[in-house]
Structure 1
Amino acid sequence: MLKVNNIDVYYGNIHALKDVSLEVNEGEIVTLIGANGAGKSTLLKTLSGLLKPKSGHILYQTQQIVGKPAQTIVKSGISHVPEGRRVFSNMSVEENLELGAFLRKDRENIKKDLDYVYELFPILDERRKQLSGTLSGGEQQMLAMGRALMARPKLLLMDEPSMGLAPLIVKKIFEIIQTVNKEGTTVLLVEQNANMALSIADRAYVLETGKIVLSGSAKELQESDKVKEAYLGGA
């Protein structure tokens, strides 16, 4: 579904991603783990058209998407749940969700998808008229996911969904990621909580200082001494 070939991304003179290649097959959950500042968020921003690589190719369903505007990429079926939630805090929960469907014209299906999001996240249904800035961190994360799902993505990019959340909420968020995946959405998950990410993923990549240094099945990476030592709290 997604094939990233040898991309290089710079912030000014800083070489943030170095010759990165990876792929995501339809129906998979693929996770990208790595320390803070490794380039994980940069990669997702590049995939969603917010950053442009200096070299390399990004093929989504065999179409080259480098250089396409972000809204075209969303329309083609890629949604991004950004790090830090980024909800529109002075708008209600329902207005945030409706914005997720901004590029769609199929009113009837938008209504169905709104009902589906409320079914996935009952707390959002209860809070639908509430300003999203007044929600807890966990509720805002659910809203950010719901908003991305309103675009009917085929591929969901998720950036640090567990960040700053209590363990019980993290467990709930990860269960929902699995549910969404089982119902047909492919997921590329960036996550510092390597244990959780590897427990639900099919395959994984490790990014260090802008380079992919390891890849394999999630199980292989969970059992790798290098990964245990660096990301899973000791061998």
Structure 2
Amino acid sequence: MLKIENIDVFYGNIQALRDVSIEVNEGEIVTLIGANGAGKSTLLKTISGLLKPKKGKIEFLSNSIAGKQAQIIVKSGISHVPEGRRVFANLTVEENLELGAFLRKDKAGINSDMQKVYEIFPRLLERKKQHSGTLSGGEQQMLAMGRAIMAKPKLVLLDEPSMGLAPLMVKTIFEVIKDINQDGTTVLLVEQNANMALSVASRGYVIETGRVVLSGSANDLQTSEEVRQAYLGGH
């Protein structure tokens, strides 16, 4: 579904990604793990058009999207849930969700997806008329994910969905990631909590200082001595 070949990405003169190649097949949950500043978020931003690669190829459903404008990439079926949630604080929960469906014209479909989001996140239904800036961190994360679902994406890019959340809320968010995947949405997940990420993913890539240094099935990565010592707190 998504194929990235040998991309280089720079912030000014600083190279953030070097010769990165990954692929995501339809129906998978693929996770990117690595330390802070390794380039994981940069990779998601490059896929969604917020950054342009200096070289290399990015193909989504066999069409090249490298360097295309973000709104064109959203239209092609990719939604990005950014790190730090980025909800529109002065708009209500419902208005945030409506913005997720900004490019859609199918009124009935939009309404039924809105109901679906409220079923997945009953807390959002209770707060639908509340300004989203007044929500807790966990509720804002639910809203950011709900907003992405409203775009009816084929592929969702999730950047650090568990960051700063209480353990119980982390569990809820990961249950939802599994649910939306089972519902037919492919997921590319960046996550500091490598244990959690590998427990839901089918495959993963380890990124260090802008390069992919390891890839394999989630199970292989979970049992790899190297990965355990570096990211899973194993000895």
TM-score tier by shorter-chain length is over 0.9
Structure 2 stretches lacking a partner, 5+ long: none
- Structure 1 distance, partners of 2:109, 2:198, is 34
Aligned pairs for 1:52-71 within 5 A: 52-71=52-71
Q: Equivalent residue for 1:204? A: 204
C-alpha offsets along residues 110-151 of structure 1, whole Å, 9 cap, x if unaligned?
A: 001000000000000000000000000000000000000000
TM-score with structure 1 setting the length: 0.99
Please give the secondary structure, in 2, of the residue aligned with 1:99: helix
Q: Equivalent residue for 1:43? A: 43
Q: What percentage of residue pairs aligned between the two structures are identical?
A: 74
Aligned pairs for 1:24-173 within 5 A: 24-173=24-173
Please give the secondary structure, in 2, of the residue aligned with 1:83: coil
Amino acid at match of 1:126: E
Amino acid at match of 1:80: H
- Structure 1 distance, partners of 2:221, 2:45, is 25
The alignment's C-alpha RMSD in Å is: 0.4
C-alpha offsets along residues 148-186 of structure 1, whole Å, 9 cap, x if unaligned?
A: 000000000000000000000000000000000001000
- Structure 2 distance, partners of 1:51, 1:98, is 26
- Structure 1 distance, partners of 2:157, 2:48, is 8
C-alpha offsets along residues 86-130 of structure 1, whole Å, 9 cap, x if unaligned?
A: 000000000000000001111110001000000000000000000
Amino acid at match of 1:112: S
Aligned residues: 235
- Structure 2 distance, partners of 1:101, 1:133, is 20
Q: Equivalent residue for 1:23? A: 23
